[in-house]
Amino acid sequence: MTTVRARSLVLLLLAGCADSDPASSGATLSGSGQITSVSQGLTQADSEDSSEGGSEGSSGDQGGSESDSAGSTSAASSDPSSSSGDTSDSSSAGTTSGEPTSSSGSSDSDSDSDSEGACAEVKVMAENKKTPADIIFAIDNSGSMDYEEAQVQSNMNVFSNKIIQSGVDAHVVLISNNDICINAPLGSGQCPNDTNPPKYLHVNVGVGSNDALAKILSTHEQWKDSMRPDGKKHVIVVSDDNASGVVASSFHSMFEAFGPSYAGYYFHAIVGTWDVGDFLKCAADAFCCATIADEGKEYKKLVSMTGGVLGPLCEGGKQKFNELFDALSKDVIEQAPILCEWTIPEPMGMELDFGKVNVDYLDGKGGSQAIPKVDDLNACGGLDAWYYDNNAMPTKIFACPALCSKIQGNADAQVDVKFGCESIVPQ
């Protein structure tokens, strides 16, 4: 009877701690951050309690063989010939650690004590999300750019779709007059009102031969609401000329001054990489020499300063816009690392206790590491640890920098968020 009592108490504790549907299994988290299914697992303490109870029950079976004593607790406890005064020579295989308890004098109060501290966990695999991308295009609208404008228009949807399909949430801003109208699905396709919020905003302002940088800065009030605090910024200029008035160094400092999320932006340019002054190039490539008004020197400086992509507007007698936009989309995707934060889901059927949350790091190769919780970012140090965005009313879990680096350096990395047992802390 002692074994039956111990097992019943564990089951009662599981029901009281988790209060979840026992039929639920296979926990997953939807893209919206909601749990679509739940699985429950026993902690180490549960396994030990259950195994010890199984050993007690099996030890009373006088006629049992060695294989019988390694069997299930339920089989042993239901055997009508079980006697609390007999022991078995064989050891129980159901024990997870330590020696099995075989005392025939175990009382009900001992079983109650053994079950204290047992808890059930609801485990959720948190969905990794990539850093959003905020992309600002400025297109030279001068008369010599008619062909280039048409190429931008025809490639914009392919460019944005590749980024979105990679899992990157992209917002695109186009600074140009209505020579360019973007079709669905990125734009609305209605000229001149092709804006399609929140994914696409058309700032209908003409961009001259030399003022792309100036127009990006002067129109900030019109497009700033499309930018996000966690969005990685990308600026793309397409021009057959060079910038004047606002030069590279001035633009760089003024753009980053817009706010913290603008720091570390990438500048990309599809511009002339040489011009009529390069006599040897012009002699070998007369078509491109006639296409390029001036080498985009200031744009090239910004590409170099920020680590962006430089695409030649014309090279070898051809303008390869498909290849250039492919290179741009690839770079935007590569510069969108996994976000080291996860929205705290609400465990189905369980009252959420923020003191009973744990995180496991999964390396994607079968390895699992329990991650301790620290109070805040300042307490991270060099620890593989996590913390809440707000200890009083948390909504998100953040990885400390050391753990974040590990996650972002491993494309297969995942984390499990577990609810129901006391949070572990660094020792």
β-strand partners of 368: 362
Mean pLDDT, residues 329-357 taken together = 86
For 242, residues 6+ apart whose C-beta sits below 8 A from its C-beta are 210, 271, 272, 294, 295, 296, 297, 298, 299
Bond prior to 426 in cis (omega within 30° of 0): no
- Are residues 141 and 102 located together in one domain of the fold? no
Residue 424 resides in a domain? no
- Are residues 84 and 110 located together in one domain of the fold? yes
Greatest distance between any 2 Cα atoms in the chain: 105
Residue 328 resides in a domain? yes
Residue identified by tokens 């804006």 is 195
- Are residues 346 and 304 located together in one domain of the fold? no
- Are residues 259 and 326 located together in one domain of the fold? yes
Positive or negative, the CA dihedral 238, 241, 245, 247 is positive
For 15, residues 6+ apart whose C-beta sits below 8 A from its C-beta are none
- Are residues 78 and 141 located together in one domain of the fold? no
Q: Which helix (H) or strand (E) holds 250?
A: helix 248-256
Structure-block tokens of residue 108? 């009900």
Question: Where a domain ends, among 68, 93, 123?
Answer: 123
- Are residues 195 and 285 located together in one domain of the fold? yes
Mean pLDDT, residues 248-256 taken together = 98
Q: Is residue 427 very low, low, confident or very high in pLDDT (cuts 50, 70, 90)?
A: confident
Q: Supply the CATH number for residue 254's domain.
A: 3.40.50
Residue 35 resides in a domain? no
Q: In this structure, what are the phi and psi dihedrals at residue 202, rounded to the nearest 5 degrees?
A: -105, 115
- Are residues 225 and 317 located together in one domain of the fold? yes
Report pLDDT digits (tens) over 276-303.
999 999 999 999 999 999 999 999 999 9
Whole-number CA gyration radius for the chain: 32
Look at the chain and report how many structural domains it folds into. Answer: 3
**Whether residue 227 has pLDDT greater than 50:** yes
- Are residues 83 and 8 located together in one domain of the fold? yes
Rounded CA separation 216/135 (Å): 12
Question: Where a domain ends, among 123, 151, 185?
Answer: 123
SS3 352: coil
- How large is the angle between the packed helices 2-18 and 44-59, nearest 10 degrees? 160
- Is the separation of the CB atoms in 111 and 73 below 8 Å? no
Pairing, β 133-139 against β 170-176: parallel
- Are residues 112 and 171 located together in one domain of the fold? no
SS3 348: coil
- Smallest CA-to-CA distance from 33 within 170, 127, 165 is with 127
Give the pLDDT score at 345. 73
Give the pLDDT score at 20. 40
- Smallest CA-to-CA distance from 55 within 80, 91, 79 is with 91
Residue 385 resides in a domain? yes
Q: Is residue 118 very low, low, confident or very high in pLDDT (cuts 50, 70, 90)?
A: low
Structural domain harbouring 385: 341-419
Give the pLDDT score at 192. 86
Question: Where a domain ends, among 294, 313, 334?
Answer: 334
Rounded CA separation 390/386 (Å): 12
Residue 55 resides in a domain? yes
Mean pLDDT, residues 150-157 taken together = 95
- Are residues 58 and 110 located together in one domain of the fold? yes
Residue 185 resides in a domain? yes
Residue 13 resides in a domain? yes
Residue 37 resides in a domain? no
- Are residues 322 and 377 located together in one domain of the fold? no
Structure-block tokens of residue 253? 């400092």
- Are residues 181 and 63 located together in one domain of the fold? no
Give the pLDDT score at 348. 67
